[in-house]
Amino acid sequence: MIVGWTAGALSDLREIREYIARDSPQAAQRVVEHVFASSVRLARFPRSAKEILRSPGHSIRALADPPYQILYEIREKSVLVVAVVHGRRDLRQLLSLIKERP
């Protein structure tokens, strides 16, 4: 499977990097690399994370990557990362916002 990223998910990661980089550019880079490495593992084990939303023909899963969560969909031949959020955020509340993203 191929792992793809939505523009919104890349924007999330960019914001996380910028926030952390205020204190430590090196730590920010490590976090970004770690999130990308975790997302690559989804190509081999796409069903390894908890399903948090299911509707007909649609499912979103959340892979815990403390302190963040990687939200993604399993497509026919790919995994699509739709958001990267802090683990303390209310996922149910965020799902409606994520659905509206490009």
Asked if residue 15 lies in contact with residue 84, where contact means CB atoms within 8 angstroms, the answer is no
Write down all domains in the chain, each with its CATH number in brackets: 2-99 (3.30.2310.20)
Classify 102 as helix, strand or coil. coil
Separation between Cα atoms, residue 23 and residue 28, nearest integer Å:
9
End-to-end CA distance of the chain: 22
What pLDDT score does 1 carry?
86
Q: Tokens 């499912």 sit at which residue?
A: 59
Could you check whether the bond before residue 102 is cis, i.e. omega within 30 degrees of 0? no
User: pTM of the prediction?
Assistant: 0.86
Q: Of all residues in the chain, what percent carry a pLDDT higher than 70?
A: 84
